[in-house]
Chain A
Amino acid sequence: MSIEKTTRLKVALLGNPNAGKSSLFNHLTGLNQKIGNFPGVTVDKKVGTSKISDNLYAEIIDLPGTYSLYPKSLDEQIVLDLLHSKKDPASPDLLLVVIDASTFKRNMLLFTQIRDLGFPVILVLNMLDLAEQHGIKIDPLKLEKELNVPIVAINARTGAGIRELKAAIACPVHTPPESYYKPGPLASGIISEVKESFSLENDYQAILLAHQYDNMRGLPQKEKEELARLVKKWSFDSKGFQSKETIARYDVITRILKETVEEKSVDDKELTSTKIDRILTHKVFGYLIFFFILLVLFQSIFAWASFPMDLIDGGIAWINGALKQNLPSGPFTDLLTDGLIAGLGGVLIFIPQIAILFAFIAVLEESGYMSRVMFLMDKLMRPFGMSGRSVVPLISGVACAVPAIMSTRSIENWKERLITIFVTPLMSCSARIPVFTILIALVVPEVDLLGFINLQGIVLMGLYLIGFLSAILSGFVMNKILKNKQRSFFIMELPSYRIPRWKNVGLTIYEKVKTFVLEAGKVIVAISIVLWVLASYGPGDIETNAVTEIRREQPELVESTPDFDNAVAGKKLEMSYAGQFGHFIEPVIRPLGFDWKIGVALITSFAAREVFIGTMSTIYSVGDSGDDEATIKQRMKEEINPKTGGPMYTPALAFSLLIFYLFAMQCMSTLAIVRRETKGWTWPMLQLIYMTGLAYGLSFITYHLFS
């Protein structure tokens, strides 16, 4: 069996937003999926493998939802880019067009366009049960005959029909199609010339080229010029033709509908979704409910996540302690425990919070509530240069700015998108959480207000609020400065409410956590190791020099006692490369209350904020010879300010540091993503300067306010 060669098929999933594509994708691929990027663009590309039969595997690609082949946003552009040429090696062998039967008519527009491109197509009819509730009864057999394409009815929620779909994928019956849309004689001139110049066989491909050559990626400049010439020669009126085409297609669809679909009026029976909307988008309750949901979200991130986080924290400390006891002491063991595992702990500790956050976002998205949030917030966002669609990136920014900035691709208006990209990193992302929680735990007492609200929780929520306000205000200022060339619009489907599909939620969590651990983990582990080396070695023999220094500085200490060893270890760290680095920048950060140890952490956390904890762990583990099992929180609590003799982490210092981490742009991945999304260094550099300046100024004020 295994000798037999297996075949691989490239299959693309297409359809309107909310048609059930992602559920079908999850049914077909299960855990065999990964998220990547389309070559050259940063739109999420979900690809998975599906076993169709014993010796046939299909690579399934989930494309962004779209209403037509005339893209309005960058997300939708991907679909056209992939389909416009059959000669492209990346182009799929087979297309599955997923249709939501309950909004059959609108969904068919995309189908007829795709079919006219000449690809082999299977029509996947989803949500027939919902359609019947809406009074729509479709006869799949009649429809199949009428459309002349294979049709498979499925239920993407239950998984019914998946086996039949796989059978249809395995034995394709594709007859060359006859176009649904026949462009009038006015277009025939340009069509035949485009077909000739680009050696195309398909009329509709030629039309799409004439319409959209300007926005197509991968089309050489010379070909664009040629198309521009042809459009001018035939005075091809793109908008007029598009509108005629759309109406003509709906005429065809209406005719097909008449033959195959029975529609009963269900007007007297009000649909459940409308009833729910009455409450969720109510004048008063609408905002109250939204605020309550956000409150629950934050509460759960901190309340529910703390238990598994403590477990992970304790587990890492325990492993480190056990390794130190059982391995021979030496540089290798130190590198493993103080460098590698301490750094890894800084990554793993995030998992519970990231999982909870993405669980929430996935549930809100799945249930259909997220689009109501956009609906509620649109008018409020407009004065700040954003639209309702900016709300989702801003909320996702609370998890991580990178996917949030990627999700701005659904914002059609360039200025709104730019403002959203610019201000999203101000939303307090999850990478700041460990810094926040540690510093808050150091200086804010754990007391309950009114018996149930935790004071630490309030400070934390306050930090998020400051982040949100600064994002909104920055947007307001940018809105005044930037000129808008493009019209802003907000035409959006409000999908019916549904119970979330838990499998989809689970897969989202799994996918996000995996990406986070692998991506952030790589950076953090690498930095931890480099840092450990820098903190353990220095110019000359720092080991001997440190001992000599301490003997000279503190002659009262008795050699070979723990006090003496601690002093030597601290001295050694100060003399190391990392210590010298920290000393070098100390003059700049002293006005904020920071010392050179924090300076080292600031520099390393430029790569990513979460490195702060890893850096602190490394610095304090290296500089502290006793009590290896103590966690970083304990060590920071015990840190003494050499100048005052009191604790190092006073409220003034902690708040100043909190504000710094709230505002500073310490995330290389965000900068890289912004560069890719805005196609240049201007915006990421402005962002870096703006945010770092804000962080420095506000930290300075905070420090002097509290001390």
Chain B
Amino acid sequence: MGEPKKSIADLKIGEKGIVCCFNDEEMSLKLLEMGCLPGCMVELSNKAPLGDPICIKVSGYNLSLRLEEAATVMLR
């Protein structure tokens, strides 16, 4: 068993993390070209009023994505 991993969906507002890998190939292609790359620092900056979607800061800009999609990006 590997160590328990955290995804972007688990971040709290203001919390930061470093992208390690993706567990969904299709989503990873879309996220990669938006600059969400392994080794990148992400910060959860905001949530929509109903808690979903969320907004992260990555590569110097704001990116919104759904919780479901955020859960595919693992942090280290």
A residues adjacent to B (C-beta < 8 A)? 67-68, 70, 72, 102-106, 109, 134, 136, 239, 242-243, 246-247, 250, 273-274, 277-278, 281-284, 286-287, 371, 375-376, 378-380, 388, 487, 489-496
Let me know if B23 is at the binding interface, CB within 8 A: no
Chain B: minimal CB distance from A326 (Å)? 63
Residues from chain A with a CB closer than 8 A to the CB of B65 are 489-492
Residues from chain B with a CB closer than 8 A to the CB of A284 are 49
| Known A-B contacts A105-B59, A274-B45, A277-B46; A491 and B52 likewise in contact (beta carbons under 8 Å) | no
Chain B: minimal CB distance from A269 (Å)? 14
For the residues of B in contact with A, the DSSP-based class is mixed
Chain A: minimal CB distance from B40 (Å)? 9
Chain A: minimal CB distance from B62 (Å)? 4
Query: Contact at B29–A375, with CB atoms within 8 Å?
Result: no
Chain B: minimal CB distance from A389 (Å)? 11
Residues from chain A with a CB closer than 8 A to the CB of B26 are 239, 487
Query: Contact at B29–A379, with CB atoms within 8 Å?
Result: no
Residues from chain B with a CB closer than 8 A to the CB of A376 are 48-49
Closest Cβ neighbor of B32 among chain A residues: A246
Smallest CB-CB A-B distances: 9 pairs? A106-B35, A494-B62, A246-B32, A68-B33, A379-B50, A103-B61, A283-B49, A286-B49, A491-B65
> Which of chain B's residues 51-71 have a Cβ closer than 8 Å to chain A?
51-53, 55, 57, 59-66, 69
Chain A: minimal CB distance from B36 (Å)? 9
Q: How far is the CA of A104 from the CA of B48 in the complex (A)?
A: 27
Q: How far is the CA of A487 from the CA of B26 in the complex (A)?
A: 9
Residues from chain B with a CB closer than 8 A to the CB of A239 are 25-26, 29
**Number of chain B residues whose Cβ lies closer than 8 Å to a Cβ of chain A:** 33
Residues from chain A with a CB closer than 8 A to the CB of B38 are 247
For the residues of A in contact with B, the DSSP-based class is helix
| Known A-B contacts A67-B33, A487-B26; A493 and B46 likewise in contact (beta carbons under 8 Å) | no
B residues adjacent to A (C-beta < 8 A)? 25-35, 37-38, 45-53, 55, 57, 59-66, 69
Residues from chain B with a CB closer than 8 A to the CB of A134 are 60
Q: Which of A287, A378, A495, A496 gathers the greatest number of chain B CB atoms within 10 Å?
A: A378
> Could you jot down 13 A-B contacts, CB within 8 Å?
A102-B60, A106-B34, A106-B59, A134-B60, A239-B25, A246-B32, A250-B32, A379-B50, A380-B50, A491-B63, A494-B61, A494-B64, A496-B62
Please tell me which one of the listed residues A67, A242, A375, A493 contacts residue B53 in the complex, with CB atoms under 8 A apart.
A375
Residues from chain A with a CB closer than 8 A to the CB of B29 are 70, 239, 242-243, 246
Residues from chain B with a CB closer than 8 A to the CB of A495 are 61-62
| Known A-B contacts A242-B29, A277-B55, A375-B55; A490 and B69 likewise in contact (beta carbons under 8 Å) | yes
Query: Contact at B60–A494, with CB atoms within 8 Å?
Result: no
Query: Contact at A491–B34, with CB atoms within 8 Å?
Result: yes
Q: How far is the CA of A451 from the CA of B26 in the complex (A)?
A: 57
Residues from chain A with a CB closer than 8 A to the CB of B47 are 281
Please tell me which one of the listed residues A278, A286, A493 contacts residue B34 in the complex, with CB atoms under 8 A apart.
A493
Closest Cβ neighbor of B25 among chain A residues: A239
Residues from chain B with a CB closer than 8 A to the CB of A242 are 29
Q: How far is the CA of A123 from the CA of B59 in the complex (A)?
A: 20
Closest Cβ neighbor of B27 among chain A residues: A489
Chain B: minimal CB distance from A73 (Å)? 11
Please tell me which one of the listed residues A109, A247, A273 contacts residue B62 in the complex, with CB atoms under 8 A apart.
A273
| Known A-B contacts A250-B37, A283-B49, A489-B27; A106 and B64 likewise in contact (beta carbons under 8 Å) | no
Q: How far is the CA of A371 from the CA of B49 in the complex (A)?
A: 15
Q: How far is the CA of A583 from the CA of B25 in the complex (A)?
A: 64
Closest Cβ neighbor of B38 among chain A residues: A247
